[in-house]
């Protein structure tokens, strides 16, 4: 039997893999487009890469966050704004299985964790801070392990260089088996004016390591997602750390100035704002001269 080789011309005549003309668009996206086909199926190479991505997404959900290493790394962050103490707390979901089955339990602190923060911080009437930062494992420990430190360092550097406003920060909190809304309870217990939640996002098949940010003014138990601002897909292949930190700082500044967050607070960090100085008091947001 003669050896069969698959050339593109043969493939087009039905002898093997057929290239897809849409493949040229792959340079613009990580989405699975233009994969070609082998007979009536996708090529083996593409199938194996799909299975690898699926496995990586599952690992991101189930792999436990290395709490001890993250705590040590956070304590080494270089910033005059940040207390060196890093607290570790637990949601009401006692393990990963319960966490996945009961999202409501991931939104509240366990009784022991709540009592600990109350005893060490909430009783101090002098402790009123501008910002509490909660690092939450969420649905991707990989996202937290990869992106938390470089993003926070970029944000803290920007905040420290601000000349118009001073910031006081509560100790960073690491939350095990947590979801976004748990930041409301943490912010309330720390008497924080604003809470910023860093959470591992639900993994996609091309992005198992996306970090998400949620900002809430006046955090307290019972708020809905309408009261939060979100910055998503922070990772080297997505929104880079410097740009994410710039957007986060803009939202923090505007939230403190306007005393609100969520649907009433728009991210205009990439717009040029011109304040009119005449007596008419008019102003405009200029988006035309980019």
Write out the binding residues. 180, 201, 230
Q: How far apart are CA 154 and CA 204, in angstroms?
A: 25
The tokens describing 279, both together, are 């007596």
Q: How far apart are CA 246 and CA 237, in angstroms?
A: 17
Q: Are 102 and 93 in contact (CB under 8 A)?
A: yes
Q: Are 180 and 193 in contact (CB under 8 A)?
A: no
Spacing of C-alpha 76 from chain mean position: 21
**Dihedral pair phi/psi, residue 282, rounded to 5°:** -70, 155
The tokens describing 114, both together, are 């709540």
Q: What angle do CA 119, 137, 64 make, to 5 degrees?
A: 110
Which residues are annotated as part of the binding site for adenosylcob(III)alamin?
180, 201, 230
Q: Are 175 and 89 in contact (CB under 8 A)?
A: yes
Q: Which of 256, 234, 253 is nearest to 244 (CA)?
A: 234
Q: Which of 7, 2, 3, 43 is nearest to 23 (CA)?
A: 43
Contacts of 254 (CB under 8 A, 6+ apart): 265
Q: How far apart are CA 65 and CA 199, in angstroms?
A: 12
The tokens describing 194, both together, are 């604003």
């Amino acid at each position: 039997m003669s050896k069969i080789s698959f050339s593109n011309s043969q493939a087009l005549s039905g002898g093997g893999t057929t290239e897809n003309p849409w493949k040229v668009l792959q340079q613009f996206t990580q989405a699975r487009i233009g994969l070609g086909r082998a007979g009536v199926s996708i090529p083996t190479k593409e199938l194996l890469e799909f299975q690898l991505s699926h496995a990586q997404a599952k690992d991101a959900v189930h792999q436990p966050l290395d709490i001890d290493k993250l705590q040590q790394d956070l304590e080494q962050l270089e910033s005059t704004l940040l207390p060196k103490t890093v607290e570790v707390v637990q949601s009401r979901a006692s393990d990963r299985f319960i966490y996945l089955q009961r999202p409501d339990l991931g939104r509240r602190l366990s009784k022991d964790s709540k009592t600990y923060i109350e005893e060490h911080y909430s009783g101090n009437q002098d402790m009123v801070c501008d910002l509490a930062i909660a690092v939450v494992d969420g649905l991707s420990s990989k996202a937290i392990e990869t992106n938390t430190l470089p993003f926070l360092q970029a944000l803290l550097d920007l905040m420290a260089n601000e000349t118009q406003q001073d910031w006081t920060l509560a100790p960073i909190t690491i939350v095990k088996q947590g979801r976004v809304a748990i930041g409301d309870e943490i912010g309330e217990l720390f008497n924080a004016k604003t809470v910023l939640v860093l959470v591992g996002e639900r993994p996609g098949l091309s992005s198992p390591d996306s970090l998400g940010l949620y900002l809430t003014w006046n955090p307290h138990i019972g708020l809905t997602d309408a009261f939060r601002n979100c910055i998503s897909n922070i990772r080297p292949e997505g929104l880079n750390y410097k740009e994410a930190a710039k957007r986060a700082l803009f939202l923090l500044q505007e939230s403190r100035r306007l005393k609100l967050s969520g649907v009433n607070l728009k991210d205009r960090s990439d717009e040029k704002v011109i304040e009119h100085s005449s007596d008419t008091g008019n102003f405009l947001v200029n988006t035309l001269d980019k």
